[in-house]
């Protein structure tokens, strides 16, 4: 008797090349890992070479394709280099996910100018610079998909986070403007606005505010679903927005926040 097996499911991103900034940790790491699992050849663009290389090794050990490029997303030369490197190595660039981000928890009065500049440089300028060089590459190859990681605080303000809110609000409107400008080139541009996600960056906020991790995470869990999110849950939203499942979706700010913005808390 002959045993037949159903054909293996086709991976969603087979043959695609992707750049994930901030891919060494947190949401970026989860995103890089998931996109690779779905068949993408992923380049992690991050300043942390040790952690970035570790993620690449994990992806390759699991049968995926990955590379690391040490990248300061606030520097045009670095962003151009990583886009050119991926295009040369893979023949094309199809996906960009800008996950690099930093936060400093201060009101506008207490926020140091250098901290304002740093958040704008990484959170907003980094998304702009990578897009600036990714869009022409994608255009030459018939289009692509870009997903910026913004924040629910890019839509609604938060306490003691003036510079962060401003930088993420800039990312939300950058997304919408890019979606309008580049639709004709076959490039879809969306952003994800996460609520509190259990990442090293979130836990670093507790120290900035003088709270214990447990106290801080408990406060962040005050939302309808009663918990903070996981990086993998944001990665799943990225996967949807870069895959053909969202082929008619562009210019959105997609909240993934456990219901925090569903009503008055």
Per the residue annotation, which of 68, 106, 153, 164 is the catalytic one? 164
Q: Among this protein's residues, is 128 annotated catalytic?
A: no
In angstroms, the CA 201 to CA 243 distance is: 27
Helices (H), the chain: 26-37, 49-61, 76-90, 113-119, 126-140, 162-182, 200-208, 213-220, 231-242
In this structure, are residues 97 and 21 in contact, taking their beta carbons and an 8 Å threshold?
Answer: yes
Burial per residue of 45-64, b for 16 or more beta-carbon CB atoms within 10 angstroms, e otherwise: bbbbeebbbbbbeebeeeeb
Residues pairing with 41 in the sheet: 17, 65
In angstroms, the CA 169 to CA 150 distance is: 7
Residues whose CB is less than 8 angstroms from the CB of residue 139 and which lie 6 or more positions away in sequence, other chains included: 182, 185, 186, 187
In this structure, are residues 97 and 18 in contact, taking their beta carbons and an 8 Å threshold?
Answer: yes
Residues whose CB is less than 8 angstroms from the CB of residue 95 and which lie 6 or more positions away in sequence, other chains included: 13, 16, 17, 18, 19, 35, 40, 144, 145, 146, 147, 242
Tell me the catalytic residues. Answer: 164
């Amino acid at each position: 008797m002959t045993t037949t097996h159903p054909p293996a499911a086709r991976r969603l991103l087979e043959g695609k090349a992707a750049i994930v900034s901030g891919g060494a940790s947190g949401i970026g790491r989860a995103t890089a890992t998931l996109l690779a699992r779905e068949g993408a050849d992923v380049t992690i663009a991050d300043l942390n070479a040790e952690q970035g290389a570790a993620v690449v090794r994990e992806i390759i050990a699991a049968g995926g394709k990955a590379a690391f490029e040490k990248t300061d997303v606030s520097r045009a030369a670095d962003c151009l280099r990583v886009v050119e490197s991926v295009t040369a190595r893979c023949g094309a660039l199809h996906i960009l996910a800008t996950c690099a981000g930093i936060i400093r928890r201060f009101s506008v009065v207490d926020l140091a100018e250098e901290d304002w500049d740093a958040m704008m440089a990484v959170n907003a300028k980094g998304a702009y610079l990578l897009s600036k060089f990714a869009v022409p590459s994608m255009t030459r190859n018939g289009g692509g998909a870009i997903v910026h990681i913004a924040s629910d605080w890019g839509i609604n303000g938060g306490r003691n986070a003036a510079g962060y809110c401003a930088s993420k609000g800039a990312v939300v409107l950058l997304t919408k403007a890019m979606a309008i400008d580049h639709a004709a080139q076959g490039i879809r541009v969306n952003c994800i606005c996460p609520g509190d996600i259990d990442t090293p960056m979130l836990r670093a906020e507790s120290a900035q505010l003088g709270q214990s991790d447990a106290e801080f995470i408990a406060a962040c869990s005050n939302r309808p679903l009663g918990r903070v999110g996981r990086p993998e849950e944001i990665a799943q939203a990225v996967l949807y927005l870069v895959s053909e499942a969202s082929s008619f979706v562009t210019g959105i700010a997609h909240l993934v926040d456990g219901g925090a913005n569903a009503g008055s808390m």
